[in-house]
Amino acid sequence: MNRRIEVISSDDAPECPRCDREGLLYARVPHGWHNAAGARVEGYSGVVLCPDCDARQAHAAPLISWFHVNGEADDGDPDFVRLFVAWASQAFVPTLNERALEDEIELCREGAYATGKSL
């Protein structure tokens, strides 16, 4: 499967959604699921390369090390490109938790977010 991964540049480091610490790289990864009607829903979701959360992942560790040595992404560096492709080929978006989504929608309907209540 050929997936188009897009690196998103910014002057600010991305925040890791898992640990809330500073990440190294933010990329948009294609993903999809089948809805209740059985139709395929396609989209993109953001994935952060985190030096803490991803350090033990075999596909991420070499790219994390590259960042520690070189500082920032460089698509002109063949080593960076090779390491990025290895990481991106394994990057994934977790499957949609439809029950959690429905629970959150229900909280919104009940006005829970206006009162500060959260999941």
pLDDT at 95: 67
Give 7's strand partners: 27
Q: Is 61 helix (H, G, I), strand (E, B) or coil?
A: helix
- Each residue's pLDDT tens digit in the chain (119 positions)? 456 766 666 667 789 988 999 999 888 877 777 888 889 888 887 889 999 999 999 999 999 999 999 988 888 899 998 998 888 878 766 666 778 878 888 888 887 665 555 54
pLDDT at 107: 85
pLDDT at 115: 53
pLDDT at 65: 95
Task: Tell me how far apart the alpha carbons of residues 18 and 21 are, in angstroms, rounded to a whole number.
Answer: 8
* 4, containing H or E segment: none
Angstrom CA distances, 111 to 97, 103, 104, stand at 21, 12, 11
Task: Tell me how far apart the alpha carbons of residues 23 and 50 are, in angstroms, rounded to a whole number.
Answer: 4
pLDDT at 66: 94
pLDDT at 113: 63
pLDDT tens digit string along 101-117?
Answer: 788 888 888 876 655 55
